[in-house]
């Protein structure tokens, strides 16, 4: 009985592995330097522009609850942009259903639109993804494939995004 309780506690204490990786995806990972972004605003300016929760995720590296984003199930054609500065980040044609609870993409519009940063928080080694223009936290990128063309999964907080629907 004690062994069953022990294993149950171990399993319950494991983090959700659907959005974590054991190693970074790229050899070109930068350290976070807030001064290296084109858009520089004070905390007060960001707080005036963003809702409290948008600020928590974009500026403090928070995370929204899985399956809570309107963009998790949005399949319209268009462009996903940074909520902080409007930079175009992902095309809808690169979005796929990874069933991890967050909008997932297999590539960004332009490799220069995002920046990858080594993230060793929460006892994991991951690759954080931020907007290259304003430094807003978007989520993480994983190399778990999901049979996508690049073998990557950009697991992005929907609260960090805006959406520009393609006009017909």
Encode pLDDT of 50-95 as tens digits. Answer: 999 999 999 999 999 999 999 999 999 999 999 999 999 999 999 9
Beta bridge partner(s), residue 140: 128, 155
- Number of domains the chain contains: 1
Q: What is the DSSP letter of 18?
A: G
In a domain, residue 14? The reply is no
What value does the mean pLDDT of the chain take? Answer: 84
Q: CATH no. for residue 124?
A: 2.170.150.20
Judge contact between 19 and 142, C-beta under 8 A: yes
Give the domain extent around 95. Answer: 20-165
For residue range 119-143, what is the model confidence (pLDDT) as tens digits? 999 899 999 999 999 999 999 999 9
Q: What average pLDDT does the segment 105-109 reach?
A: 97
DSSP H or E run through 13: helix 2-13
Whether 82 is catalytic is: no
Judge contact between 24 and 140, C-beta under 8 A: no
116 backbone dihedrals φ, ψ, rounded to 5°: -100, 135
Selecting among 19, 100, 134, 155, the annotated active-site residue is: 155
């Amino acid at each position: 009985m004690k062994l069953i309780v022990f294993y149950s506690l171990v399993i319950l204490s494991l983090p959700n592995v659907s959005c974590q990786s054991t190693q970074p995806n790229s050899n070109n990972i930068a350290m976070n330097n807030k001064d290296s972004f084109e858009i520089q605003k004070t905390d007060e300016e960001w707080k005036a522009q963003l809702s409290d929760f948008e600020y928590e995720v974009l500026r403090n590296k928070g995370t929204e609850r899985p399956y809570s984003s309107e963009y998790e199930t949005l399949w319209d054609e268009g462009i996903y942009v940074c909520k902080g500065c409007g930079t175009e980040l992902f095309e809808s044609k690169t979005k796929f259903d990874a069933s991890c609870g967050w909008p997932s993409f297999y590539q960004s519009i332009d490799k220069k639109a995002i920046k990858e940063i080594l993230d060793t928080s929460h006892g994991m080694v991951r690759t954080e993804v931020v907007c290259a223009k304003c430094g807003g936290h978007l989520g993480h990128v994983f190399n778990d494939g999901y049979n996508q063309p690049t073998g990557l999964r950009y697991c992005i907080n929907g609260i960090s995004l805006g959406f520009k629907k393609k006009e017909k």
